[in-house]
Amino acid sequence: MVAQLVRLKLTLLANTFRRSVWQTIGIVLGSLYGLTVVVLAVGAAVAGGISDPGATGDVLVLVGSVVVLAWWVVPLFAFGVDATLDPQRFVTYPIPRRQLLGGLAAAGVVSVPGIATALAAVGVAFAFVLSPAALVAAVVGGVLAVAICVVGSRAITTVLSPLLESRRSREVLTVAAFVPIMLIGPVISWFAQRFESTADGASASASGADVVTAFVGDLAGILAWTPLGAPWGLGAAVHDGDWGLAAARLAVAVATLAVVWWVWDRALAKSLVTPQHGGGKGARGKGLGWFGRLGGGPTSAVAARALTYWVRDPRYSASIAIVPLLPVVLYLAGQGSGGVVLLILAPLTAWILGFGISNDIAYDHTAFALHVATGTSGRADRWGRALPVVVAGTPVIVAFAVVSVALSGRWAYLPALLGLSLGVLLVSVGVSSAVSARLLYPVPKPGDSPFKQPQGAALASLVAQTMGGLLTFACSLPMLAMALPAMLVPIPVLGWVSLVVSPVIGVVLLFVGVRWGARTYDRRAPEMLQQVLSYA
């Protein structure tokens, strides 16, 4: 049965080359990229192991821990991706559960990420090529690590499958898991700055590199006692001659594999007997929501639906989740700059909020047919999408501008910064209203993961986003010409001029963008509907 499931997975993998030329190219490029990463990782590990096996062992534990964590966490973002060997598809077959578990586990390695991880896990073991015993131990640790990756991933997704059946639970889980990912870069930057300050205060015999090496060693020593890093530390322990430590790490790795296997077995047994079904209990009616609050008229109806999307659609929620994190990200990234980095908080947020509606029609998907069928005018469509962003975004921009100058201690910059930020918000919304009626590109369909990349979206989205960004920057140049001298020279009077003039410029360009977009919409509505439907 194990061999049969592996052959089935190989057949399914081979059939992906027959679907389309572009998908074949994507798989080939992905495979080449994965192979390149594996070769570089193995080469770096071998070179480092020959020159400094101790430090290389610490790095392997750190990187390996990240790999295991990624295997466990990433599937939570991929609930919109088809699982070719979903256990629910084997409910009607009389397959013993233990054989099904073994087959699914082996088949889980048959994929581009699985094969790349397996090759890398075994390849980096040759960092201890000069010590045969350590090499054998590292290979055993690599095999255990791959098993923990695959089985742990399956166990987590099977246990959480009841939650993932609920759309609201998927939305909350996706956004919650996205938060720590956003903070990885700033936290690393924060640690790097702390290392630098520590190295500056250290004695002459201790360099910054010594401080970093000591920190990496301490962190690797901690992770090597956890399920994430234990299998990756076997080779280093044997290389150092510490057989007791190696036995302890082996015990942690084997115990981890046994636990995740047991959890997967129990969860799979339950799901096969009582399979989950989508839908669940019907939601109770809660009134008309925004449709009841905004009144009648086509513009109000479009605005109400747009607000409903921003609150309830995970594809929008994921982008909104970024906004509250921006102050934290910029604060951590700007440590040591005197708070200067924080000054871009309000203008950057303004651009992000305005850019959020740059492809709204594609996000509508088949619902856009309602606009075309009912004869919704371009004016109503454009204003209905633009006004919610302007109304909801203005207080956020004002608050972020005040917070940024307060934390940086540069209150004299507030007028110029506030004028620039409000102007950028209006300009960005105006440009998006115009561009979104002309340039459409594929986006995740309703119900899909917001992190799923639709086929053919990469190049089209790059072109559309680049053009939108360049247009917004070009239209913002007059406002930058007032705000930057007011803060850099500084010229306080120019800052107050910017506070008055920049929003006026933004209002004018907002009306121009909406008007231009409305005309384009009226002329191209049937073509846009046909283009959106082609993304299905």
What is the widest separation between alpha-carbon atoms in the chain?
81
Whole-Å CA distances, 220 to 43, 100, 207, 431: 21, 36, 20, 49
Asked if residues 52 and 102 have their Cβ atoms less than 8 Å apart, the reply is: no
Asked if residues 378 and 520 have their Cβ atoms less than 8 Å apart, the reply is: yes
Q: What one-letter code names the amino acid at 398?
A: V
pLDDT of residue 205: 44
* 108-124 per-position pLDDT tens digit: 777 778 888 889 999 98
| DSSP letter for each residue of 468-531 | HHHHHHHHHHHHHHHHHHHHHTT-HHHHHHHHHHHHHHHHHHHHHHHHHHHHHHHHHHHHHHHH
Q: How far apart are the first and last CA of the chain?
A: 36
* 161-209 per-position pLDDT tens digit: 666 555 556 556 655 655 665 555 565 555 555 555 555 555 444 455 5
pLDDT of residue 357: 86
Q: Which two tokens stand for residue 148?
A: 């923990």
pLDDT of residue 279: 45
pLDDT of residue 400: 92
pLDDT of residue 58: 86
Cα separation, 380 vs 386, in Å, equals 10
Nearest CA among 381, 157, 123 for reference residue 263: 157
Cα separation, 193 vs 333, in Å, equals 9
Helices (H), 224-273: 234-239, 243-273
73 burial via Cβ count (<10 Å: 0-12, 13-18, 19+): middle
pLDDT of residue 268: 77
In which residue ranges of the chain is pLDDT below 50? Answer: 79-82, 203-206, 278-283
pLDDT of residue 508: 95
pLDDT of residue 79: 47
Rg (CA), the chain: 27
How long a stretch of residues is the chain? 536
At 223, which helix (H) or strand (E)? Answer: helix 208-223
pLDDT of residue 270: 74
